[in-house]
Amino acid sequence: MPPSYPNIVLRLPDWLEVALPPAERIYTSREERMDLVVDLARQNIEQGSGGPFAAAVFDLDSGKLLAPGVNQVVDGCCSIAHAELMALMLAQQLTGSHDLGGSSHPPCELVTSTEPCAMCLGALPWSGIVSLVCGARDEDAREIGFDEGDKPNDWPEKLKQRGIAVYRDVRRPQALAVLRKYRDLGGQIYNGRSAP
């Protein structure tokens, strides 16, 4: 008998869809889009449903939210269930394509409450997004104990060379406040093994 492997299922928490503004809402600025993402990160910790990180993919033509994501590492039993990857995977499922940069799609932007870790950074060029918006810096995540992995110092420039515009420090104080709140609440720091 071959082994019966379970399907790999990652679910966003139940509160998230209820918490979202109406789907027709148009987000006209990067700050507006980040405000939503930081709020999702805050709710993820207040609801006890994951780490202090959220992200979302937006359709840049319409300004509408395409797919939200929140960190689901612990609840999902999945070390790769970072908010950025949750949002990208959901956007790709909803559009029916592995490539958000395909000619049949509007340009897509990923907004993330904290700069991408080494794993998520590696996933960005394959996703097809054309724009990345970041709130807190990776040193902010490190400040509360998360390991962001090994990234080249010039990673924003590397992304730009691959056609992805990068905007940093958008609502950074608000995003940092969520990280610190998670620490102050005694939230789990779930790194595997950090470099010495």
Our finding on whether 120 is near Zn ion (CB under 5 A) is: yes
Question: Whose Cβ is closer to Zn ion: residue 114's or residue 174's?
Answer: 114
Question: Whose Cβ is closer to Zn ion: residue 2's or residue 192's?
Answer: 192
Angle at the Cα of 90 from the Cα atoms of 88 and 95, rounded to 5 degrees: 95
Binding part of the chain for Zn ion, among 2-10, 36-44, 118-126, 182-190 by CB under 5 A, reads 118-126
Our finding on whether 88 is near Zn ion (CB under 5 A) is: no
Our finding on whether 179 is near Zn ion (CB under 5 A) is: no
70 sits in which H/E element? strand 65-70
Our finding on whether 54 is near Zn ion (CB under 5 A) is: no
Output the smallest distance, CB 111 to Zn ion, in A.
14
**Selected binder of Zn ion within 36, 55, 100, 117 (CB under 5 A):** 117
Binding part of the chain for Zn ion, among 34-42, 44-52, 82-90, 139-147 by CB under 5 A, reads 82-90
List residues near Zn ion by CB under 5 A.
82, 117, 119-120
